[in-house]
Structure 1
């Protein structure tokens, strides 16, 4: 970051005045974005605390222990599963060579394109009691329905497996990047001192990659506590399903707010743990030269075993679900070209496009202000803007609905009393409030992509633009945006697909009769019409492959350096 003042004193007074005015506007916009991100958390806390002790006492005596226990158990299973799959796959494709390794290092990212609830629909179709697997088992053995035991897919364990299969790529990507950056010096030194390959891995390579692996696991945990579609379909009672049930089924706004506050506290605790472990870990290789570790060449049974281990998560997380969904969709009566489905597609594309543009613009505002004026205000705005990734969609929905519903009702009462005119709900139930929820939820992803590209812009370019009389807006438009175009495109695609997959906030906040592909898939699956749910699910997956392909290209380039 340049130490030069934001505005050069060598410029004419009029140019300095324009630059100062531009900075003030930029600062105001950045603070406004941070305020919108903070509003759901503040609103949930106020609504929960104003709900009285009777509601929280009733919750503690009835559902709160069950919600907490199920959520913690699910988090524990997903943490262990994503760690084992992600780290194991990353080590195999980075440190060994076997037939198909180049294909697997890219294919292992593909399950990231699938929402967990889509996998839940696919596997329930084949593993449930009337599904093809159990039906075939009964036909072959002659057993009756009560003559055998079969794992129940609609359970905490089943939900954990679905989440593990789509979330392990977070750990895989970060662990693979960490293994690629490690020097072979310390590993070879451990081998020279008599340590086996496994011992050197556990004592040297794994500890060096611990910060990256922990970050990936915590990302998976954040997505787990935010998941609604999978646990709701499987009938697993977590905080996410409890919030939705309290808000809609029981019409208990105070109970929903207090459950949301519990989930928000847990999410923020995890965010603080992630920040602490990332900031406190300072592992480095003391060797002056970065010696690339030579991958071990596997042959025979070892090569076959490595290929099988890498192929299992790809097959279960991407290939098999696509085959199942496609076969289900062929037997359904859903027509993608019908006016009704075209409406679902249009609504989804509209929401995703508007939300992606607004979120990226907000990320540019916050990130550019932090670059031009590093300080408490800019750093604080960026920190608050990043908190949205730790807040589940259901919590954001409740946090935005409560204050804006109160505003709409108060304004409507005022207009009735003064002018005998009903204004109805101006903000609540509008598309713009839903877009604001998406921005809060996914701003951290867009900000990360923007800052990654911004780091490639030298600080002297900013100084040169200021010396030529450019305002902050001119510097952004003429210097930064052309250089940052690839990073901004990546951010747009990531947010676009995340919005396409997002379910809890959409279910709670969508305008009346404004259904999306995700809502249609959830509704059909809730009615046990899984064949019909396969059609919108396949469209969501197809669109989700766009950013995953970009990520795969980046992984391939990094691995070939």
Structure 2
């Protein structure tokens, strides 16, 4: 254990402050929920909660099931089989992650509404009334399930693929000697062994679905998130919104418990004498073509269709030629907020993990784990929980300025956009913390001991050894956090200063006015900024197959 140093104490103080920062919104939500709101609750119980709870449960269950089916099936196909076009699919299958759920909802409603592109195409072969009748109603719970699952399934795919491609060949070979077919091996061996990864992927999908507000509201699904939004803004009841938020936090806790239950007592051991990986089964002819087509379908629906539609609308409406000055401003705001939040999250995550690395203790372990809990907070709940603490800080600063005889600064945090940055940092702090923690696990502690033996301090060791070795992990964290900040809608929508828009909120405003097509270029910018990072994260995802 390293001796206590000044840099170690500073890192520990930052780690504890970070944990308090993440815990503050939850404490604030609970405090607000303790305030009475009888009038609101009577209305909620009579008219809102029954349908809201049912819709939320059905949406979460439907999206989880469909994402599980798509993600597991595609991961199994590309991990354990070899067919023409497989290498292309390795890059394409994660790309729907670059499409925010609200963008997918806006695009598909435009495509399938009466007089939309799909309707006009069907009208070429069918009478007008028949064309309308065969169109699916996307403004419905089933429509929301399909649209959201098509862009969130990569969470399951990436988790499952990691497990499938590292499965040892000895299990499948033993099953084959007993006469098991390929499907039997999948159901009885591959799938159970991948259960921990599938539980993680489904939990992430469910958390993202619960966080969504743009797609659910636009598609007419009355989820708890939408109810919190309307209770807060339309009915003006912070206490009622906070009490509904506690329901959401209970659901989040349940999802985490289910994810932990899915991974309970599950260990996968590989033989030291036979470390061979499962060889990929060749698929040729019709089987190979069908495998490629089935895997390509979710990519087309979840990524290519929205991307091509946004590009077509941007060209059709001359948005490239007549670049709106307001779009420059919104893009600048998005990049500024995302950049500041990314830098802050990276520094806080690094300090938190360094505090644990340099001198492990119970307090630092708790702080490290608290720092990773922010991602479980839906953006809307996070915004509501931050409102009271940030206003209290602003009021305290104004009181201090008045006591000193200075002019009152006003709402420093709420009015400057700092609230948005703070929300981003809390929500996405788990990403750099997790990346950096994983990076440190690959750095032997012998390096630290050797540096200390030659007289190098902790700061020098960090600068000359840790940071160079952590560069890939930190770069990955920067990319993921920056893109997530660009796409974040609920927290941005509620905490941004007056008359300040980002790309995400600008698109939301266009959709609310029924003119989403006018925001196609802003949407395209978000997607374009996300494609590269998603591809970067998957560039080393394939490993050589074991010998057949």
Same fold (TM over 0.5): yes
Supply the distance in 2 between the matched residues of 1:246 and 1:146 (Cα, whole angstroms).
Answer: 39
Aligned equivalents of 1:26, 1:303: Cα separation in 2: 54
Maintained 8 Å contact 2:119/2:132: no
1:187-198 equivalences in 2 (<5 Å)? 187-198=172-183
Aligned match of 2:465: 479
Of 228, 246, 250, the match for 1:265: 250
Q: Are 1:244 and 1:508, in contact at CA under 8 Å, matched by a contact in 2?
A: no
Residue of 35, 38, 58 corresponding to 2:23: 38
Shift of 1:52: 4.8
Maintained 8 Å contact 1:90/1:176: yes
1:185 and 1:287 in contact (8 A); partners too: no
Shift of 1:242: 1.6
Contact preservation (8 Å) 2:112, 2:135? no
Q: Find 2:527's aligned residue among 531, 536, 541.
A: 541
Which shifted more, 450-459 or 384-393? 450-459
**Change over 3 Å in CA distance of 1:75–1:388 after alignment to 2:** same
RMSD over aligned Cα atoms: 2.3
> What secondary structure does 1:140 align onto?
coil
Whether the 8 Å CA contact 1:493–1:546 is kept in 2: the answer is no
Query: 1:404 maps to which residue?
Result: 390
Residue equivalent to 2:228: 243
Aligned to 1:517: 503
**1:55 & 1:46 partners in 2: Cα distance?**
17
Q: TM-score, normalised by structure 1?
A: 0.92
How much has 1:57 moved relative to structure 2? 4.7
1:6 match: 2
Aligned partners of 2:351 and 2:403: how far apart in 1? 40
Question: Residue 378 of structure 2 is aligned with which of 387, 392, 403?
Answer: 392
- Alpha carbons 1:121, 1:533 under 8 Å: kept: no
Deviation at 1:195, TM superposition (A): 1.6
2:324 paired residue among 327, 331, 338: 338
> More deviation in 129-138 or 78-87?
129-138
Distance 1:251 1:410 in 2: 24
CA contact (8 A) 1:40 1:399 kept: yes
Q: Which runs of 5+ in 2 are unaligned?
A: none
Contact 2:122 2:131 in 1 (8 A): no
Q: Which residue is 1:163 aligned to? A: 148
1:256 aligns with 2:248: no
In 1, the alpha carbon distance for the partners of 2:432 and 2:238 equals 31
State the match for 1:118 in structure 2. Answer: 103
Q: Distance between the aligned counterparts of 1:127 and 1:85, measured in 2?
A: 22
Moved more, 433-442 or 143-152: 143-152
**CA gap 1:56/1:473 in 2 versus in 1, 3 angstroms:** farther
**Distance change >3 Å, CA 257–CA 210, structure 1 → 2:** same
Instruction: Quote the offset at 1:394 in angstroms.
Output: 0.6
The alignment status of 1:133 with 2:118, answered yes or no, reads: yes
Distance 1:375 1:535, change over 3 A: same
For 1:204, the equivalent position in structure 2 comes to 189
Could you tell me how far 1:155 is from its partner in structure 2?
1.4
What is the deviation of 1:361?
0.7
For the 8 Å contact 1:34–1:385, the answer to whether it is kept is yes
Query: 1:199 Cα shift?
Result: 1.0
Unaligned stretches of 5+ residues in structure 1? 8-18
- SS state at 2:263 partner: helix
**Cα drift, residue 141 of structure 1:** 1.9
Q: Is the 8 A contact 2:83 2:282 kept in 1?
A: yes
Maintained 8 Å contact 1:22/1:471: no
Tell me what 1:66 maps to: 51
Deviates more, 1:166-175 or 1:63-72: 63-72
> Does the CA contact (< 8 Å) of 2:279 and 2:546 recur in 1?
no
Distance across 2 between alignment mates of 1:514 and 1:417: 31
1:411 Cα deviation from its structure 2 partner: 5.8
Alpha-carbon distance in structure 2 between the residues aligned to 1:482 and 1:279 = 36
Q: Does 1:99 align with 2:95?
A: no
